[in-house]
Structure 1
Amino acid sequence: MPVIRMILYGALLALFSGCGGVRDAPDRRIVKGIVTLNGEPLEGAAIRFLPQPTGPVAAGKVKNGMYEISNKGGVPLGKHRVEIKGIPILPDDTDGKSLGEIDAATKPAISIPEKYHTNSELEATVEAGSEPFIVDFELKE
């Protein structure tokens, strides 16, 4: 009987003390918006939100000027430095195509000034809420 009590006490202690995990993760929110370059929707890019001073990075793709970051619950709340960098644009349909055909149909990455990626001056502060947080970026060369 004492062994069963010890097991029950141990289980209750574990239940009430918690095991870390999800509660240790920062609160997040889905972030979406529009990215333009010189007034035109940015055709293809990668966007990254880097928490300041530190924390887990959240990233997504910009396609036809729009992005949405929802994986892992979205972007951690708080202040971020934002990086946007052009990436090659793959064709929409690659089924049954050879690598050569895919490569030939891939559009090269759009050149985006370093002040928006390597030396990014962009910032965003993601606030708490239940609806997606909207952050638009108007880039200029």
Structure 2
Amino acid sequence: MRGLILAAAITGLSVGCGGEVRSPLGERAIVKGKVTISGQPVTRGTVVYTPTEDNKADEQTGQIQSGEYTTSVFPGKYKVSVTGNGSVPAKYKSAQSSDVTIDVPKGGKTDADIDLK
């Protein structure tokens, strides 16, 4: 009897866990771009997308590989910073000091290039 109850409980849990959890913020959008400093590719580091409006999105990151990055964010406006690379100018290392902003539409953005001068 214990085995039957345990099997029923496991079956019930597995059915309940299979559903997709939807966010009240909608669907995430894919963002891709290149990171350069004065036109030269940045080969390592992390691109950080920080939402400009509280409760409208969450902070997301994308690893830079061969000068390019990909991440997924909720549509909206973001301050963009780059961390983990000593050659990045100090002003771009945090959302508070960076002047780079990117508006991500619902369909995503494939040309979110960042040139750090």
Distance 2:76 2:64 in 1: 22
Per the alignment, residue 82 of structure 2 pairs with 84
**2:11 matched residue in structure 1:** none
2:106 maps to: 128
* C-alpha spacing 1:122/1:132, structure 2 compared with 1 (3 Å): closer
Within the candidate set 68, 71, 79, 2:70 is matched to: 68
Q: Is the 8 A contact 1:127 1:133 kept in 2?
A: no
**TM-score where L is the length of structure 1:** 0.59
Q: Which has the higher helix share?
A: 1
Structure-1 separation of matches of 2:91 and 2:80: 10
Aligned: 1:36 with 2:13: no
Identity %: 29
In structure 2, give the amino acid aligned to 1:41.
P
Which amino acid in the other structure matches residue 117 of structure 1? K
CA RMSD between the two structures: 1.7
User: In the alignment, residue 51 of structure 1 is paired with which amino acid?
Assistant: P
Equivalent residues of 1:126, 1:133 under 8 A apart: no
The secondary structure found in structure 2 opposite 1:115 is: helix
Which segments of structure 1 move beyond 3 Å, counting only runs of 4 or more? Answer: none
> Contact 1:48/1:57 (CA < 8 Å) preserved in 2?
yes
Q: TM-score, normalised by structure 2?
A: 0.70
- Structure-1 residue corresponding to 2:86: 110
Q: Does the 8 A contact of 1:58 with 1:76 survive in 2?
A: no
For 1:123, the aligned partner's letter is T
Within 2, Cα distance between the matches of 1:27 and 1:114?
33
Change in 2 beyond 3 A, CA 1:133/1:39: closer
List alignment gaps of at least 5 residues for structure 2: 1-20
**Contiguous gaps of at least 5 residues in structure 1:** 1-20, 88-108
